[in-house]
Each structure stands twice: as structure tokens, then as C-alpha cells.
């Protein structure tokens, strides 16, 4: 890396931050040298009903596979996020809600008010029969009730499973059924970028495929028309009438589940990633404090959707555990225009904004004037997450948005990791555009080659993690064997991330992207197998293969190859119909950007589709397809190349 690509820690950050460069080395060193003491010390940042005396208790080995943290501790997550702040900062704003429509009024909730709302919500859930350990599916847009609902589950020990509002009724039904939840919390409609999303109608449509669904709690948000099914559907405001605004927090074991969040993998259906109460909250709180040097009084804005892990950890659990003022925004960063995200920063005097590279690339494309039309004087720190950030977008964020004065905190992590794993600390870490820099305390990284050989020094390979950390997922809901197989069987004794990564001579980590069949579309994970399964459900489709392709704004786009059943004819209408089909089956985020009709797919003689070739063609890199002689029918490749859908 050339020296000019190094952005040293600004002097004022080095002076005022909690952790400076020497501090980082010490912290990291200690976390690995004496993890037992280190983690029990860290556990003190939480309020325990019973303080743990055991830290990590885990093994990644097949014969003794288990992961537990603080297993003798007892706590309640919502009490950690609310009750314990009441004495000191009951009147401080906990949650600021910024509406989609810039002319509408924001809403603000103090810790005391948020506590009351969460308790009331918890009482509604209890009145609907929800008990400790039950699964509650939450299908809500970015409205304050989403925060109330998640924390209410945590309060009574119910396990929430949030389904992103952009998922279709079919996808929703699959997630309701998989975790066996009998109740869904939704609202009449969502609102994004001036458009309405028919959430309640989607729940109605999902019910046909979710026979176990017995209760739907409906929050009135837009006031749009909905059909209420007697005996199943209840209005939240009616159910809440007369219920108290206090509710005792349920004492939970540290290892009791807090939530399930479905995420895509290389194969099969989405997996229900399960997180625990104690370890997860500790990780959320610690990483929020370290990576962002969070201080009381700072207004914190994580611009993710609460339907993704980033929203769980950094809109709610981390910041609220730390007594922060957290902002939740209903709308899109570039609506009504590309100034909006920065206008929101000005309106609420945001100190740190945390968003995805895809949003930055889209905003960058609209030009600097939209940024310069705003003040941004309150901004001190800029965060990014979700996909590798290209150095151009990084520099634009740093130079134009932050006017050169705000460190860029690029955080690498996954739904499975619970919170940030590789990230700079603003007072400690010199920055390099495009690198998430260095590991968090306790995170022991390894680069391994395809054969499992450990690579040392400057090297590029697959990223594995050799020890457990408190925020690690505990299992795949209902399928512990799949948990082991997916993450611990590739490199025995290690957690395999699925990401490729380079380590430079300074020990900085550079994530190069997924090395499995997961694609990252606008920072959202999508399994190619899921899109393929959706396509082959169409009566005219015989076979489908899906790969990622480079996309200027989204990072990766979806390129689908489709073989039709004998007798069916390819046409532009059918192409449009198939794209629409996938939108309906999974959701708009899964809609292929390009769809090519392919009379045949490149397969080995044993019938395995050679995705490497399909990826090259999708990328437009047809001159280096490599060896195609092992294909059952090499001629199919010529047809695929000739009929490639040009990038548009
Ligand atoms: C990718 C989102 C590079 C990576 C929190 C990972 C990143 C997947 C970064 C997880 C980053 C996330 N730099 N790549 N800063 N952050 N990724 O589960 O491929 O939605 O495996 O979690 O996103 O996506 P997930």
C-alpha cells in the first residue's frame, strides 16, 4: 500500500478517544492471552441478575462441539437496554424517529417513555398468550413500534424473528413455519420513499402457507385499509387498552435465546441464525463502544433496516445497552432527493452515521451538490458495513461527506458474528481506504488456503476464526447439525466465514468478498440456490443457474441462466414474467438484473454445473473461460457466450 493511502489517526481523536494505538495493542493482546479474566471483566459492562463466573466454554471440534458464554449468568436484555438507565438518564432521549415524509414530525422517546412503551407491548404479547421461549415473528417497517416489539420480546423471554418488510408472503410464510411461531406482529402498511408497502395484506397472503399462524397483532401506522380476520387478527391499540405500562423483566439465562434471524447460505433454505442473550448483548455493546468510541450525548444513527442484523445490533441492542440516543429512519437515504440522508444528519445533529457502501455509491453518482447543500457540521465519525467498500466510495465519504475531518469506520462482520469483528477504532487505528483494518478484542483470525494450510504474514486466502467470541451465533434453529456442517467442517476446529481475505504487511485485513455461492446485492445476502429454487418453481422452467455479476451501485447484481421446458419459447415477455415471479416468490431484492435463456448449462460429465464458467460469462470476461474440455457438451458454452445479456 502506498503511503498516501494511509490516513493517520487525527491528533484530536488520538487525544480524546478511549483507546489509542498502544491501548489497542494492549487490549487485543490481553484478550487473547487471558481470555477468562478478560471476558469476565468485560461482562461487568452489563447488569446481571446473577453475575457469571464462567466466561467462554466452547469447542469447535466435532467430538465435543459446543459454544457457551457466561453460562452461569442471569440477566434480562431489555432491562439492560432500559431499566438500568432510568435513574441516571430517564429523561434523556433514547430513540429519535425520523419519518419517511420530510414534512412530517419526528417523534422522540426518552428512556422513561421507551420503557413504558416496551412494557405495554410486552403486556399485549403476554395477553395474546406469548410466553418465555415462544417465537414471535415481527414483520414491521421502520416505525417506533418495531423497537417496542423487539424489546418487548426480550423483556418476556420470547424469541423474536424479524422478517424484513421487503420479503414476499411466500418468504414470510417459510420463516413463520420454520421456527414454529404462532404469532406475527405487523402493521397496516409500510412507507418508504413515498410509496406504501401492503404488509398486513402480505401477512394475509402468507397465512395459506403458514397453517400454524394463530394470531396477528396489527399496529395502525398509515391508517390504510386492511381486512381484519375475526378470531385471528387484533389491533395493537385495542389490545393495549387498559394494560399497564409496567412489566417485570423475565430473568433469563445468558445462554437463553434472544432472537432468530434468517440469512442466506450457499445451499438450501435460509438458515435461522440463533443468538443468545448474554454473549450477544455484551458483543453488541462492547463493539458499539470501541469501534465508534460512543460517548453519552452523541446522537447515533445506524441507517440499516431493523430487518437485518445491522439494525438489530446497531439500531437497538448495542446503542441502547450503552445508554445512547439512537435514531431510526423510516425512509430511503435518497428520497425525496440525494440530500435527504445529510438533511437528517443536520436535523438531528447526528454525531455518527453508519451506512452501506451501496448507498454511498448511489449518492455519489448523484453528485456532490446534494451533499454540499447541507451543513454536516455535527458529524464526527462515518461508518460503513455490509460489503467491501471500494476505495473511491471510501474517499468520497471521507473527503466530501466528512470534509476530511471524520474517520471512516469500515466494519466487517456477519449475521453469524452478532457484531463487528474487524474494524478500526477511531483513536487507535490509521486507516486505509478499502480495508476494515484490524480485529476486535478476542477475535483470532486466520487465513487458510483451499487445502486448509494456514498462511502467515502478508497473504491472501479464506478467512477463518480460530476461537469463539461472545457474540457468536449458537446454532441454526432446529438444525444443529447444519450449523456444524456449514461453519466448522470446511476447516476442522475453525469457524469458516465464507469470505476471501488478504492480509497486508502491516497486518491489515482486506475482505475480497464471498468465496461461496452467496452473493451480496446492495449489502444484502442472497443465496444463489434460493433464486434458482424460485425460478424452477415456474411451470415453464426446467433448470436455472444463478451467479453474481459486478454492478456499479449494488456491488453485485444477479445474473440468471434459465433453461425452459421442451416446447416453451423464449421471449422478452417471458423474461419479464420470470423476473416478476422471483420478486413474488422471494422479494424485490432477489429479482435478477439479467436473465439469459440458455438451451443448455455447462455441466461436467457427472452433471455438476460449472459456475466458474457462468460467472465469467456474466462478468463479460469471455476470453478467459479456462478449460472447458471436461464439460459433457462443450458446445453449450458457445451458445451462452453468443447470447450473453449485455450489461445495461
Ligand atoms: C460482507 C452484515 C467487506 C461479507 C453485517 C460478509 C463485508 C457478509 C463487510 C455478511 C465489510 C459485511 N467489508 N465485506 N465491511 N461487511 N460484508 O450477514 O461478505 O448480511 O460475509 O451481515 O457481508 O452479510 P450479513
CA distance 565 to 213: 36
Q: Is the pLDDT of residue 600 over 60?
A: yes
The three cell numbers of residue 536 are 424452477
Distance between Cα 403 and ligand 1 center (Å): 26
| Angle (CA) 148 102 591, round 5° | 75
Task: pLDDT band for 626, please (50, 70, 90 cuts).
Answer: confident
CA distance 524 to 462: 21
Q: In Å, what is the CA distance from 474 to each residue of 108, 194, 251, 358, 439?
A: 35, 39, 20, 30, 21
- pTM listed for this prediction: 0.96
Q: Is the pLDDT of residue 397 over 80?
A: yes
Q: Which helix (H) or strand (E) holds 37?
A: helix 35-42
Among protein residues, the one whose CA lies closest to atom 14 of ligand 1: 387
- Please choose, from the candidates 147, 191, 467, the residue with its C-alpha nearest in 3D space to the C-alpha of residue 319: 147
Atom of ligand 1 nearest to the CA of 388: 3
Q: In Å, what is the CA distance from 155 to each residue of 93, 124, 160, 186, 233?
A: 20, 12, 11, 19, 23
Convert 91-105 into a string of H (helix), E (strand) and C (coil).
CCEEEEEECCCCCCC
pLDDT tens, residue by residue, 544-586: 999 999 999 999 999 999 999 999 999 999 999 999 999 999 9
Residue with cell string 418488510? 165
For the segment 125-149, the average pLDDT, to the nearest whole number, is 98
536 in a labelled binding site: yes
The answer to whether residues 327 and 350 touch, using CB atoms and an 8 Å cutoff, is yes
Pocket lining: 499 vs ligand 1, CB cutoff 6 Å: yes
Among protein residues, the one whose CA lies closest to atom 1 of ligand 1: 387
45 in a labelled binding site: no
What is the DSSP track for 513-560? EESSSEEEETTEEEEHHHHHHHHHTSTTEEEEEEEEEEETTTEEEEEE
Atom of ligand 1 nearest to the CA of 514: 19
Among protein residues, the one whose CA lies closest to atom 12 of ligand 1: 386
For the segment 291-306, the average pLDDT, to the nearest whole number, is 97
pLDDT tens, residue by residue, 361-395: 999 999 999 999 999 999 999 999 999 999 999 99
For the segment 186-191, the average pLDDT, to the nearest whole number, is 98
- Please choose, from the candidates 517, 537, 511, the residue with its C-alpha nearest in 3D space to the C-alpha of residue 614: 517
Pocket lining: 385 vs ligand 1, CB cutoff 6 Å: yes
Task: pLDDT band for 330, please (50, 70, 90 cuts).
Answer: very high
CA distance 269 to 25: 41
Atom of ligand 1 nearest to the CA of 415: 18
Among protein residues, the one whose CA lies closest to atom 11 of ligand 1: 412
pLDDT at residue 4, rounded to an integer: 57
Alpha-carbon torsion 50, 51, 52, 55, what sign?
positive
Q: What is the DSSP letter of 208?
A: T
Atom of ligand 1 nearest to the CA of 518: 19
Q: What is the DSSP letter of 45?
A: G
Pocket lining: 520 vs ligand 1, CB cutoff 6 Å: yes
- Please choose, from the candidates 342, 330, 295, 378, the residue with its C-alpha nearest in 3D space to the C-alpha of residue 92: 295
Atom of ligand 1 nearest to the CA of 422: 15
pLDDT at residue 648, rounded to an integer: 47
452 in a labelled binding site: no
CA distance 507 to 458: 7
The three cell numbers of residue 24 are 489497542
Distance between Cα 518 and ligand 1 center (Å): 11
pLDDT tens, residue by residue, 265-279: 888 889 999 999 999
For the segment 528-557, the average pLDDT, to the nearest whole number, is 95
Phi, psi of 408, rounded to the nearest 5 degrees: -100, 120
Among protein residues, the one whose CA lies closest to atom 25 of ligand 1: 414
- Angle, in degrees to the nearest 10, between helices 21-33 and 35-42: 120
Task: pLDDT band for 183, please (50, 70, 90 cuts).
Answer: very high
pLDDT at residue 2, rounded to an integer: 47
pLDDT tens, residue by residue, 58-116: 999 999 999 999 999 999 999 999 999 999 999 999 999 999 999 999 999 999 999 99
Among 260-269, 405-414, 508-517, which is the least confidently predicted range? 260-269
The residue whose CB lies within 8 Å of the most ligand 1 atoms, and thus the one to mutate among 385, 386, 416, 429, is 386
193 in a labelled binding site: yes
For the segment 417-437, the average pLDDT, to the nearest whole number, is 98
- Please choose, from the candidates 584, 605, 620, 596, the residue with its C-alpha nearest in 3D space to the C-alpha of residue 544: 596
Classify burial at 162, counting beta carbons within 10 Å of its beta carbon; exposed 0-12, middle 13-18, buried 19 or more: buried
Report which of residues 464 and 620 the model is more confident about. 464
Alpha helices in 384-514 (DSSP H): 391-396, 480-488
For the segment 613-627, the average pLDDT, to the nearest whole number, is 89
Percent of the chain scoring above 70 in pLDDT: 99
CA distance 346 to 355: 16
pLDDT at residue 647, rounded to an integer: 56
CA distance 314 to 575: 39
Amino acid at each position: 500500500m502506498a503511503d498516501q493511502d494511509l490516513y493517520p489517526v487525527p491528533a484530536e481523536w488520538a487525544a480524546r478517544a478511549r483507546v489509542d494505538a498502544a491501548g489497542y495493542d494492549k487490549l487485543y493482546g490481553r484478550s487473547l492471552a487471558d481470555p477468562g479474566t478478560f471476558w469476565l471483566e468485560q461482562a461487568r459492562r452489563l447488569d446481571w441478575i446473577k453475575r457469571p463466573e464462567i466466561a467462554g466454554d466452547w469447542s469447535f471440534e466435532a467430538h465435543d462441539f459446543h459454544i457457551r458464554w457466561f453460562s452461569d449468568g442471569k440477566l434480562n436484555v431489555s432491562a439492560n437496554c432500559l431499566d438500568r438507565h432510568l435513574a441516571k438518564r430517564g429523561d434523556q432521549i433514547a430513540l429519535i424517529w425520523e419519518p419517511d415524509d420530510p414534512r412530517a414530525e419526528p417523534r422522540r422517546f426518552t428512556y422513561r417513555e421507551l420503557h413504558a412503551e416496551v412494557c405495554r407491548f410486552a403486556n399485549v404479547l403476554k395477553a395474546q398468550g406469548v410466553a418465555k421461549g415462544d417465537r414471535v415473528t415481527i414483520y414491521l417497517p421502520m416505525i417506533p413500534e418495531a423497537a417496542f416489539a423487539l424489546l418487548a420480546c426480550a423483556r418476556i423471554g420470547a424469541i423474536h424473528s424479524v422478517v424484513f418488510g421487503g420479503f414476499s408472503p411466500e418468504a414470510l410464510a417459510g420463516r413463520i413455519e420454520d421456527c414454529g411461531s404462532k404469532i406475527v406482529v405487523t402493521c397496516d402498511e409500510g412507507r418508504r420513499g413515498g410509496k406504501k408497502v401492503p404488509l398486513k395484506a402480505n401477512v394475509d397472503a402468507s397465512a395459506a402457507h403458514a397453517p400454524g399462524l394463530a394470531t396477528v397483532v396489527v399496529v395502525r401506522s398509515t391508517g390504510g385499509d386492511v381486512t381484519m380476520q375475526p378470531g385471528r387478527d387484533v389491533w395493537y391499540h385495542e389490545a393495549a387498552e387498559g394494560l399497564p405500562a409496567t412489566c417485570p423483566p423475565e430473568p433469563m439465562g445468558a445462554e437463553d435465546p434472544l432472537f432468530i434471524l434468517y440469512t442466506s447460505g450457499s445451499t438450501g433454505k435460509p438458515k435461522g441464525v440463533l443468538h443468545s442473550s448474554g454473549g450477544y448483548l455484551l458483543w453488541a455493546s462492547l463493539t458499539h463502544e470501541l469501534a465508534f468510541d460512543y460517548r453519552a450525548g452523541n446522537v447515533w444513527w445506524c441507517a440499516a433496516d431493523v430487518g437485518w442484523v445491522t439494525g438489530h445490533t446497531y439500531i437497538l441492542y448495542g446503542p441502547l445497552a450503552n445508554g445512547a440516543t439512537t435514531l431510526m429512519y423510516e425512509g430511503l437515504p435518497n428520497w425525496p432527493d440525494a440530500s435527504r440522508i445529510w438533511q437528517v444528519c443536520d436535523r438531528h445533529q447526528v454525531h455518527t452515521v453508519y451506512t452501506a457502501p451501496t448507498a454511498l455509491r448511489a449518492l455519489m453518482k448523484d453528485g456532490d451538490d446534494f451533499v454540499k447543500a447541507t451543513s454536516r457540521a455535527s458529524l464526527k465519525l462515518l461508518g460503513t458495513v455490509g460489503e467491501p467498500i471500494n476505495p473511491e466510495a471510501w474517499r468520497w465519504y471521507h473527503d466530501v461527506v466528512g470534509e476530511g475531518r471524520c474517520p471512516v469506520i469500515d466494519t466487517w462482520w456477519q449475521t453469524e458474528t452478532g457484531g463487528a469483528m474487524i474494524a478500526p477504532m477511531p483513536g487507535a487505528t490509521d486507516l486505509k481506504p478499502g480495508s476494515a483494518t484490524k480485529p476486535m478484542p478476542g477475535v483470532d483470525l486466520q487465513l487458510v488456503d483451499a487445502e486448509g494450510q494456514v498462511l502467515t504474514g502478508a497473504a491472501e486466502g479464506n478467512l477463518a476464526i480460530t476461537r469463539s467470541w461472545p457474540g457468536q451465533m449458537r446454532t441454526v434453529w432446529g438444525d444443529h447439525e447444519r450449523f456444524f456442517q456449514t461453519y466448522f467442517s470446511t476447516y476442522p476446529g475453525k469457524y469458516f466465514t465464507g469470505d476471501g481475505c488478504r492480509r497486508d504487511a502491516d497486518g491489515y485485513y482486506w475482505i475480497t468478498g464471498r468465496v461461496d455461492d452467496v452473493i451480496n446485492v446492495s449489502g444484502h445476502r442472497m443465496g444463489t440456490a434460493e433464486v434458482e429454487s424460485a425460478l424452477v418453481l415456474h411451470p415453464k422452467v426446467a433448470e436455472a443457474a444463478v451467479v453474481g455479476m459486478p454492478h456499479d451501485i449494488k456491488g453485485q447484481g444477479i445474473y440468471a441462466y434459465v433453461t425452459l421446458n421442451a416446447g416453451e419459447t423464449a421471449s422478452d415477455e417471458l423474461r419479464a414474467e420470470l423476473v416478476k415471479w422471483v420478486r413474488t416468490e422471494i422479494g424485490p431484492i432477489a429479482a435478477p438484473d439479467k436473465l439469459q435463456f440458455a438451451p443448455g448449462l455447462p455441466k461436467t460429465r457427472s452433471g455438476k454445473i460449472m459456475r466458474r464458467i457462468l460467472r465469467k460469462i456474466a462478468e463479460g470476461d469471455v476470453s478467459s473461460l479456462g478449460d472447458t474440455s471436461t464439460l459433457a457438451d462443450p458446445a453449450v458454452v458457445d451458445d451462452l457466450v453468443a447470447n450473453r445479456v449485455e450489461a445495461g
